[in-house]
Amino acid sequence: MDDKALHILATVFGYSEFRFHQQDVIRQLEQGCDAVVLMPTGGGKSLCYQIPAMMRQGVGIVVSPLIALMQDQVSALRQLGVNAAFLNSTLDAVTAREVEQQLRSGELDMLYVAPERLMTESFLNLLDQSPLALFAIDEAHCVSQWGHDFRPEYIQLSILHQRYPEVPRIALTATADDATRREIIQRLGLEQAEVFVSGFDRPNICYRISQNQGNARDELLRFIINEHESDAGIVYCLSRNKVEQTAEWLSAKGLNALPYHAGMTAQERQQNQQRFLNEDNIIIVATIAFGMGIDKPDVRFVAHLNLPKSIEAYYQETGRAGRDGMPATAWMMYGLQDVIMLKQMMESSAADERHKRIERHKLDSMLGFSELTSCRRQALLKYFGDVLEEPCGNCDTCLTPVETWDATEVAQKALSTVHRTGQRFGVTYLIDVLLGKEHERISSFGHNKLSVYGIGAELNARQWRDIFRQLIARNLLTVDIQGHGGLRLTEQCRSVLRGEESLMLRKLVKKEKSTVRKKASSIGFNTEKTELWEALRACRKQLSEQLNVPPFVIFHDATLMDMIERQPQNKEQFSRISGVGEHKLDAYGDAFLKVIKEFSEREKQALSSSDTADETLELFNRGMTAKAIAKHRNLKESTIYTHLAEKIAQGILELNQVLDLDEEQIKLIQDEILNLDEESSGKLKSVYDALDGVYGYELLRCVRASLVVS
């Protein structure tokens, strides 16, 4: 059987080898046995049932709660030449009748259905008359009553086994915890099933968390422009208000940002979600209402402007990035205010004490995770019971190790201030006391007479806020239950207060005055490759519009990357690209080959012209000015600058070797260039005009070249 499965993998899907447990799972189903599959997002769960459905006689029934997704999955399968269809409430009666007819006549390889439809007696009657290959229950954690995605209809799916005992079943989920897994097995009657667990690491996601020093929005913008310009991404905010404001603000800065929250009409939400799926570079700014059912593979970043309330939520939300396995970033910025607000929300919630205790524990774990000074991935996996032996090298704490310092003494000052003022004041007031501020409120309480008054003058208010945040995050301080933001001491703080334990805290990282440096692309190519990347994306976009499917249904980013890597020149070579099966080879091979060939041609030409740029470089390196070189070579001075710009873009020359500009001027020009929108990028005229013609085109071209150096 293995040969047959491998054959389908190669010819239909265009992949050369199986991942994780795919092969074992397929074998299990092929033999008519049940399986429970836990695999991280993007791990390749769908192949686990798609391939056996094709191998076995009859149709594979796929149960999925995500109606919005069915259409995409079915179009993706059709693009591969697989006979798939879906049945849900979005279909009109005539189309639904047709699908049912196809089902009865045994034409279908796979049928996606919503659980509520599957469980109707009329549909079950239909199934009685059709040969069945298997049942796949996707998003199987929806059966769990404790999870946030609970679907009552899922409970009834156990009927399938009673009614069709000989048809193998497979339940799939990316949800990590043990309790959910047990619940799936029990509720769906899968005690006999083999369980396949693939670990939860998402190695392509780079985790980054930093502290908000009051400029989170600017930092977000800088992050997007520097690392993910023209990428698709999701920005999570806690409130609708913040969603609206952030989306507006990002749009004003020239990004394609759209809001999404429960306060919008269903139609507006649908529209924005559709654009996110169908276009390449949309940023959705959303509350956590957005995400379930978003299966877009090429989301390159997920940003949090607030702290999620548990590690589970963080893992799930960040997990929407990089499903295609290509590099992606999980970026988060949070601050003291978040910590206080979440603690307050939790303490004042109506939940019973048992629930509160669980939630408190979850929030504390999340806070601890945010303040970590060791590898984040190790901690994340450990939380889910996985072990990663070595630090990952792809998270912020691995990439730029955090400095810590012995903060025992300042912590004692902060804690004493809380104690002496009676454990009822908020951070701002406490800091004022520490700094010895003179104001009426303090004197009216007589706090200017306390021994702690003014003992914290060695630090400024921002540094103190940073310390208070860490003290709360480490549970040395807690926020009062009445919800006024007053801080109280906890049991844990005693040993620090008494000096029995020393306390190491993160050093506050100074705000960097970083300039915007645009990378050629988030995936990190050099300039020429970026050109090919853009051309391939344009080709994909055109096809997707013609066929009315999202671009990733044509080819994933990973497949385009492979084309850039190998630059196939004929169909035979093209067929070896990962993600190119027989059907897609026929359907799109020519279009993409044409793009690649045109690019190769252009590159050849550029190569011959680069000789002349090299000559310019050599003269320049000998100390000649652009003017002198132009005269010497009998070329226009602007041509010489074009050569020099090319060398700057290649990283061979530094901008300041060529131009005599100060930082300020360069920053000014760079900002103008970065402000260009999609359409006018490449056209420097508007930059020239915006700067009142002070800087010539030669000069602008060089500055632009300096921006693409990666």
Residues that bind ligand ADP (CB under 6 A): 15, 17-19, 22, 39, 41-47, 297, 323-324, 556
By CB under 5 A, tell whether 206 contacts Zn ion.
Answer: no
CB of 375 to Zn ion, least distance (A): 3
CB of 93 to ligand ADP, least distance (A): 31
CA distance linking residue 332 with residue 328, whole number of Å: 13
Query: Is the CB of 46 or the CB of 575 nearer to ligand ADP?
Result: 46
Query: Is the CB of 44 or the CB of 568 nearer to ligand ADP?
Result: 44
DSSP state of 419: H
Query: Is the CB of 296 or the CB of 377 nearer to ligand ADP?
Result: 296
43 binds, among Zn ion, ligand ADP, none (CB under 5 to 8 A by kind): ligand ADP
324 binds, among ligand ADP, Zn ion, none (CB under 5 to 8 A by kind): ligand ADP
39 binds, among Zn ion, ligand ADP, none (CB under 5 to 8 A by kind): ligand ADP
Query: Is the CB of 485 or the CB of 581 nearer to ligand ADP?
Result: 581
CB of 111 to ligand ADP, least distance (A): 18
406 binds, among Zn ion, ligand ADP, none (CB under 5 to 8 A by kind): none
CA distance linking residue 60 with residue 169, whole number of Å: 10
45 binds, among Zn ion, ligand ADP, none (CB under 5 to 8 A by kind): ligand ADP
User: What value does the CA radius of gyration of the chain take, rounded to a whole number of Å?
Assistant: 30
Footprint of Zn ion on residues 353-392 (CB under 5 A)? Answer: 375, 377, 391-392
CA 284 to centroid of chain Cα atoms? 11
Q: What is the total count of residues that contact Zn ion (CB under 5 A)?
A: 6
CA 58 to centroid of chain Cα atoms? 38
Query: Is the CB of 480 or the CB of 557 nearer to ligand ADP?
Result: 557
CA distance linking residue 504 with residue 509, whole number of Å: 15
Query: Is the CB of 328 or the CB of 673 nearer to ligand ADP?
Result: 328
10-34 burial, b at 16+ Cβ within 10 Å, e below that, comes to: bebbbbeebebbbbebbbbbbeeeb
Binding mask 393-412 for Zn ion (x = CB under 5 A): --x--x--------------
CB of 330 to Zn ion, least distance (A): 12
398 binds, among ligand ADP, Zn ion, none (CB under 5 to 8 A by kind): Zn ion
CB of 70 to ligand ADP, least distance (A): 13
CA distance linking residue 21 with residue 182, whole number of Å: 20
164 binds, among Zn ion, ligand ADP, none (CB under 5 to 8 A by kind): none
CA distance linking residue 235 with residue 28, whole number of Å: 40
Query: Is the CB of 124 or the CB of 402 nearer to Zn ion?
Result: 402
Joined tokens for residue 269:
């939400």
Neighbours of 129 (CB within 10 A): 9
257 binds, among ligand ADP, Zn ion, none (CB under 5 to 8 A by kind): none
CB of 398 to Zn ion, least distance (A): 3
CA angle 190, 192, 193 (to 5 degrees): 65
Q: Can you spell out the DSSP letters for 446-480?
A: TGGGSTTTTTTTTS-HHHHHHHHHHHHHTTSEEE-
**Which positions ≥6 away from 199 have C-beta within 8 Å?**
40, 381, 386
Query: Is the CB of 82 or the CB of 496 nearer to ligand ADP?
Result: 82
Q: Are the beta carbons of 369 and 310 closer than 8 angstroms?
A: no
Helix (H) or strand (E) holding 426: none
CB of 195 to ligand ADP, least distance (A): 16
Query: Is the CB of 26 or the CB of 375 nearer to ligand ADP?
Result: 26
Question: Is residue 325 helix, strand or coil?
Answer: coil
36 binds, among Zn ion, ligand ADP, none (CB under 5 to 8 A by kind): none
- Of 39, 7, 40, 10, the C-alpha closest to 25 is 39
- Of 65, 181, 167, the C-alpha closest to 112 is 65
568 binds, among ligand ADP, Zn ion, none (CB under 5 to 8 A by kind): none
Query: Is the CB of 431 or the CB of 553 nearer to ligand ADP?
Result: 553
Q: Can you spell out the DSSP letters for 216-285?
A: HHHHHHHHHHHH-TT-EEEEE-SSHHHHHHHHHHHHHTT--EEEE-TTS-HHHHHHHHHHHHHSSS-EEE
Can you list the alpha helix ranges (DSSP code H) found in 385-526?
Answer: 396-399, 408-420, 427-435, 440-444, 461-473, 494-497
Query: Is the CB of 208 or the CB of 323 nearer to ligand ADP?
Result: 323
φ/ψ region of 354 (left if φ > 0, alpha if ψ in -120 to 50, else beta) reads alpha
Joined tokens for residue 633:
């070579």
392 binds, among ligand ADP, Zn ion, none (CB under 5 to 8 A by kind): Zn ion
Footprint of Zn ion on residues 469-498 (CB under 5 A)? Answer: none
CB of 123 to Zn ion, least distance (A): 48
395 binds, among ligand ADP, Zn ion, none (CB under 5 to 8 A by kind): Zn ion
CB of 560 to ligand ADP, least distance (A): 12
CB of 199 to ligand ADP, least distance (A): 13
599 binds, among Zn ion, ligand ADP, none (CB under 5 to 8 A by kind): none
Q: Can you spell out the DSSP letters for 16-64?
A: SS--TTHHHHHHHHHTT--EEEE--TTS-HHHHHHHHHHHSSSEEEEE-
Question: Of all residues in the chain, what percent are helix, strand and coil, respectively (each to 5)?
Answer: 50, 10, 35
Query: Is the CB of 80 or the CB of 410 nearer to ligand ADP?
Result: 80
Query: Is the CB of 183 or the CB of 396 nearer to Zn ion?
Result: 396
Neighbours of 405 (CB within 10 A): 12
Query: Is the CB of 403 or the CB of 409 nearer to Zn ion?
Result: 403
Binding mask 2-41 for Zn ion (x = CB under 5 A): ----------------------------------------
**Which position's Cβ is nearest ligand ADP?**
44
Q: Can you spell out the DSSP letters for 677-706?
A: -TTTTT--HHHHHHTTT-S-HHHHHHHHHH
15 binds, among Zn ion, ligand ADP, none (CB under 5 to 8 A by kind): ligand ADP
CB of 376 to Zn ion, least distance (A): 5
SS (H, E, C) 536-564: HHHHHHHHHHHHCCCHHHHCCHHHHHHHH
Q: How many CA atoms lie within 13 A of 89 on its CB side?
A: 9
Helix (H) or strand (E) holding 304: strand 299-304
51 binds, among ligand ADP, Zn ion, none (CB under 5 to 8 A by kind): none
CB of 39 to ligand ADP, least distance (A): 5
CB of 18 to ligand ADP, least distance (A): 5
CB of 374 to Zn ion, least distance (A): 8
Joined tokens for residue 594:
């044409």
CB of 594 to ligand ADP, least distance (A): 24
Applying CB under 5 A, which residues contact Zn ion?
Answer: 375, 377, 391-392, 395, 398
